[in-house]
Amino acid sequence: MSHKRIPKRRVAMAAGGVVALGAAAVLLPSANASQDGGSSDDAAAPRTLKAADAPDLASRLAGLLGDAFAGSYYDADEQRLVVNVVPGDDDQVIVRAEKAGAQVREVDNTMGELRDGARTLKSRATIPGTSWAIDPRTNKILVTADSTVTGAEWDRLESTVQGLGTGMATLKQSPGTFKTFASGGDAIFGGGARCSLGFNVTAGDGAPAFLTAGHCGVADDQWSEAQDGPPTATVDQAVFPGEGDFALVRYDDPATQAPSEVDLGDQAVPIVRAAEATVGQQVFRMGSTTGLADGQVLGLDATVNYPEGTVTGLIQTNVCAEPGDSGGPLFTQDGLAVGLTSGGSGDCTVGGETFFQPVTTALEAVGATLGDGTGAGAGQAGDGGAGAADQAGEENAGGADADGGGTGQAGEDAGGDTGAGADGDGVGGPDDAGDPGDTGDLGDGTGAGAAAGSGPTG
């Protein structure tokens, strides 16, 4: 059987060069670095853990603590999950949270009160150019208005925020304008719009497909990899505005090779699975206009009032983006797919707020899968290597092939370096002392977790 081979897009990074290079310096050397995480609930508390493990612990604690749970966030400096607790009649909630491995902080506002406040904003202040999300770091609702919200609309928003009560919300104005980013760039083209491919996925019937922004999917039903080129993919499902901003787009050729990776222009980052975002988590965004940028997650379940309508359930970040970046991937340094670029304000010169569609929600809605859903690409113990979740002290840890064998070149330090090397690049991992290893030599393998063949990449 012949396989259609679509060349990788070589993403121009000139527009966001300084930001892109800075992000790459953070991302690539530590792509396979391990962190010291506890393995059981009776570990010393608070324990350190990777950002990727924080959502699972937060979810467990939300169920364990009940009404006392008031949100959580990841402290990247301390590598700990901080859990907000509202003291009540049960004086054991703090003990339970600490035993589970979290750092506990007592706060005033319950999640119920904060959610009630968000509902009040929705009913009284759904104004184009506004957004709100619960910020667990301040234990308040973060309300933002763009530069178009003035006069009577600003007064109505300000009055609504004040009516929530003291200590319930903060209000700030952004100098930019909330908008979707479906123009500019050079990645995928349709109906006069240009967007970015998010993540390659497998549709429910096993066909190759990809995720992108919903507002791109409603702009046109056929997309090409070249401006004025022949269509190569067709929209299957799209949601925008409403409960999300995502689209599933099927490749027209069912033999298309669609590896699970993010193309950085000169190399690729393997994507192993989808994951929930955590407030405080460091994330990276790739877009066809600005290239690579990084920042932090600021809020979850955000509501954004675009000119086209209201979108709910988004991730709020301080990662910059510009027109053409719409639909592009938001991911972590260890290869977890987190979001799809939706829109925001500002640019990569002055900064601003950017909102992302959670990948997990999109996958569930369209019935698609990414990777194997459980972290495919990690090598199996004893089979030659560990993939994205390398353990210190293992040698020749590259991306795993079908039997877990590493294909990337080993790093230079003995006893603990890892070969990440998408497209054959080796990246040093942690040494025995836990410090970053040296940059590995260029390898000739396929890189960590990279799928066979070359095809469209996110």
In 3D space, the residue among 136, 145, 164, 86 whose CA is nearest the CA of residue 300 turns out to be 136
Residue 430 pLDDT: 34
CA dist list (Å): 273 to 66, 299, 337, 338, 371? 29, 22, 6, 9, 5
Q: Does position 45 have pLDDT exceeding 80, yes or no?
A: no
User: In this predicted model, which residue has the larger pLDDT, 325 or 228?
Assistant: 325
| Highest mean pLDDT, choosing among 174-183, 210-219, 366-375, 396-405 | 210-219
User: In this predicted model, which residue has the larger pLDDT, 458 or 201?
Assistant: 201
Spell out the long-range contacts of 36-45 with Cβ–Cβ below 8 A and sequence spacing 24 or more.
36/79, 36/434, 38/101, 41/99, 41/100, 41/101, 42/99, 43/101, 45/98, 45/99, 45/100, 45/101, 45/102, 45/103
Q: Does position 17 have pLDDT exceeding 60, yes or no?
A: no
**Mean per-residue pLDDT, 32-48:** 49
Q: pTM of the predicted model, to two decimals?
A: 0.72
- 326 is known as an active-site residue: yes
Q: Does position 126 have pLDDT exceeding 90, yes or no?
A: yes
273: confidence class by pLDDT, cuts 50, 70, 90: very high
| Model confidence pLDDT, tens digit, residues 366-388 | 999 997 554 333 333 333 333 33
Residue 373 pLDDT: 55
- 215 is known as an active-site residue: yes
Catalytic residue among 245, 263, 390, 425: 245
- 245 is known as an active-site residue: yes
Q: Counting every residue, how long is the chain? A: 458
Residue 181 pLDDT: 72
- Cis bond leading into 323, ω under 30°? no
| Highest mean pLDDT, choosing among 50-54, 75-79, 193-197, 240-244 | 240-244
Residue 438 pLDDT: 39
27: confidence class by pLDDT, cuts 50, 70, 90: low
16: confidence class by pLDDT, cuts 50, 70, 90: very low
**Mean per-residue pLDDT, 56-82:** 92
Residue 228 pLDDT: 84
Q: What percent of the chain has pLDDT over 70?
A: 70
**Of 109-113, 348-352, 452-456, which range is least confident?**
452-456
Q: Does position 44 have pLDDT exceeding 70, yes or no?
A: no
Catalytic residue among 34, 215, 334, 431: 215
Residue 107 buriedness (CB in 10 A; 0-12 / 13-18 / 19+): middle
* Cβ atoms within 10 Å, residue 12: 15
| Summary mean pLDDT of the chain | 76
